[in-house]
Amino acid sequence: MSNYDVDLFVIGAGSGGVRAARIAAGYGARVMVAEEYRIGGTCVIRGCVPKKLYVYASRFVDDFADAVGFGWSVPVPPAFDWTKLVASKEQEVTRLSKIYAANLERAGVQMVESRAEIVDANSVRLLKDGRTITAGRILVATGGTPVLEPAVPGIEHAISSNEVFDLKDFPKRLMVVGGGYIAVEFASVFARLGSKVHQVLRADNVLRGFDDDMRNGVRDALVHAGVEFGFGTLPTRIAKEADGLHVTLRSGEVCVVDQVLVATGRRPHTKGLGLETAGVELDAVGAIKVNAYSQTNVASIYAVGDVTNRVNLTPVAIREGHAFADTVFGGKDVAVHHAGIPTGVFTTPELGTVGLTEQEARARFDVVDIYSANFRPMKATLSGSAERTIMKIVVDGRTDVVLGVHILGHEAGEMAQLLGIAVRLGAKKADFDATMAVHPTAAEELVTMRTRSARYERDLAQGAPAKD
């Protein structure tokens, strides 16, 4: 038994912190977790879970429209109740938060509802009652927080992704600022729920860092859903008037909306945690610097999840928390590798992706083969929907190894999860070709694409198959 009050003190009861606490306790460690808001963290309370529930809600408008082509009679127009959706979401979020708490209790973890600040390498102060707890190890898992930028006059009238889930009134006119995955997801959701959405962003396209063909596909789908884009522009002023928020853009245009959702980025939630006092190194944006084992420069202090700004995804935080506990308390040697992580963007249609984009592959490999498909999904043949499915396989032209797969279409996220296994195992295009198709499915296109894309063949004929 150590001389410390606990073997592990975890600051933050989100996905990463909870997983680390439970696994460490399973190895016999005495664990205490402090959370200042609600157990479950961003993902459960105001992130992935409520977002996906709202995505489901938004897709019913398409389902109602599609049903007519299949012989159903649907009331026109279908009625949507925002208040009921918010209440249902809150009920589910509360249920999940209680499950997280119950799992911690079952594992023998002490849970404290309080903000915690680091005093030194082995001490943490609970602000709720002033107690100081000593710990053999301290794990920071406080996640990230939205940033309201640009900091223009009137930015205090805007909301972030934290507040958007619980708006009292449904915004009939919504401006979304930003072009990342959070911005496009909410633009998609609210446009389908009935908002007039105006999306403005600094760049000339959405989803920087994703494959260009997928970016274009998402943009076009949003336009089809009614989203009006303002590329290369941002707000310069937000004024609250009787008829709504008057947003002045760089172009001089003034838009009148009910809400302004700023989704221009998130920062690690490290401010006021006492990290500097303990000597923990932070980077330029406030992220905690860690090694491959999530250990900081202070040997007893670790950090996992978005607070480290490595790969800001819930499954990554969970894996990092688990690996930390396995290594420190389980006597194993487990480091998380952050390459080839599958992910999804839950617009409608949704984007599922794993591995390198075409642009990344061309920058790293001498010869890159591209296989692609762009087709009307089977459901659309009767519904009359204009939806398209886009698929793309990026292959190392010399070794035949699949470098990346990108899908825009129904259940693309589900497909990306399974494709992540194949890409991680180093599957070759020949392995895809040798796999029997499941018919009729959209996914069968992934194993029936035999011809390199026409665009690639054109590049090849022009003598430019190598690096861009």
**Which residues have a catalytic role annotated?**
439
- Write phi, then psi, for 371 (nearest 5 degrees): -120, 130
Give the separation between CA 404 and CA 391, rounded to whole angstroms: 11
The answer to whether the CB of 69 falls within 8 A of the CB of 382 is yes
Q: Are strands 402-409 and 389-396 parallel, antiparallel or unpaired?
A: antiparallel
Give the separation between CA 144 and CA 288, rounded to whole angstroms: 11
Q: How many helices (H) and strands (E) does the chain have?
A: 14, 21
Strand segments (E) across 258-321 = 259-262, 266-268, 301-303
Q: Are strands 254-257 and 244-249 parallel, antiparallel or unpaired?
A: antiparallel
The answer to whether the CB of 404 falls within 8 A of the CB of 371 is no
Give the separation between CA 31 and CA 40, rounded to whole angstroms: 17
Amino acid at 88: S
- Write phi, then psi, for 86 (nearest 5 degrees): -60, -45
Cβ contacts of 445 within 8 Å, gap of 6 or more = 373, 375, 389, 391
Amino acid at 467: K
Q: Which two tokens stand for residue 286?
A: 């406030």
Task: Say how far residue 13 (Cα) sits from the centre of its chain.
Answer: 18
Amino acid at 156: E
Q: Which two tokens stand for residue 172?
A: 């009939």
The answer to whether the CB of 21 falls within 8 A of the CB of 33 is yes
Q: How far is CA 327 from CA 123, 284, 324, in A?
A: 21, 28, 5
- Please, what is the end-to-end C-alpha distance for the chain in angstroms? 60
Q: Which two tokens stand for residue 135?
A: 């710990």
Q: Would you mind telling me the total number of residues written for the chain in this entry? A: 468
The answer to whether the CB of 43 falls within 8 A of the CB of 15 is yes
Cβ contacts of 304 within 8 Å, gap of 6 or more = 16, 17, 20, 139, 140, 141, 294, 317, 320, 321, 324
The answer to whether the CB of 261 falls within 8 A of the CB of 164 is yes
The residue assigned the tokens 């420190």 is 328
Q: Which two tokens stand for residue 414?
A: 């589900």
Among 5, 198, 21, smallest CA distance to 101 is for 21
